[in-house]
Amino acid sequence: MDDLVIYLLNNNISISSMESLTGGMFAALLTSYSGISKVFSGSLVTYSDHIKLTLGKIEPTIIAKYGAISKETAQAMAKNCQILFQSDIAVSFTGNAGPDAQEGKPVGLVYTGIYIYDKCYLFEDHLLGDRKTIRETIINKTCDRIKKNLGIISI
């Protein structure tokens, strides 16, 4: 995450997050960097469906039709996050870190949405490990994906 934060700061690119399965870990990592307040707009932890609907402004039909753990929900979370925080980049995380299946979806299924300016990138991952490992892995993958789409690195 170091090189991502440096790039964001050097280029004055703002970032925000709406997190479910990561429970605010992405925001916590960002805020561990001195000076990040120049570009970090904020974060919502929308762990429950109720909060996704009310604070996250996710359309009820999206969750009703596709579930909270879906690419559609990840996309809506990222887009609404970008609007709410007026950030250049918005990231969302939704999925199942275990220990049991949820919505009939397996442990390790994670959807991530990334809006960079007006372009949306959606990812579906099937990760292995315990809760901590799944959450850390998706944050690392997401940082790499942001860097790739900003042209910082090639993967």
Instruction: Please state the rounded mean pLDDT for residues 82-104.
Output: 96
Question: Between helices 2-11 and 131-150, what is the axis angle to 10°?
Answer: 40
Quick check: 154 pLDDT over 70? no
Residue listed under structure tokens 């918005």:
90
| Cβ–Cβ under 8 Å, residues 7 and 35 | no
What is residue 37's three-state secondary structure?
A: helix
CATH number at residue 115: 3.90.950.20
Instruction: Please state the rounded mean pLDDT for residues 114-129.
Output: 97
Q: Report the number of distinct structural domains present in the chain.
A: 1
In a domain, 70, yes or no: yes
In a domain, 23, yes or no: yes
In a domain, 20, yes or no: yes
In a domain, 155, yes or no: no
Non-local (6+) Cβ contacts of 118 within 8 A are none
Residue 153: predicted pLDDT: 73
**Spatial distance between the Cα atoms of 103 and 147, rounded to a whole number of angstroms:** 32
Q: Which two tokens stand for residue 36?
A: 């990040």
Quick check: 69 pLDDT over 70? yes
Residue 142, Cα to own-chain centre: how many angstroms? 8
Give residue 111's pLDDT band: very low, low, confident or very high (50, 70, 90): very high
Q: Which two tokens stand for residue 48?
A: 């429950």
Angle at CA 107, nearest 5°, toward 103 and 109? 80
Domain of residue 126 covers 2-150
Quick check: 155 pLDDT over 60? no
Residue 117: predicted pLDDT: 97
**Spatial distance between the Cα atoms of 69 and 109, rounded to a whole number of angstroms:** 8
Quick check: 12 pLDDT over 80? yes
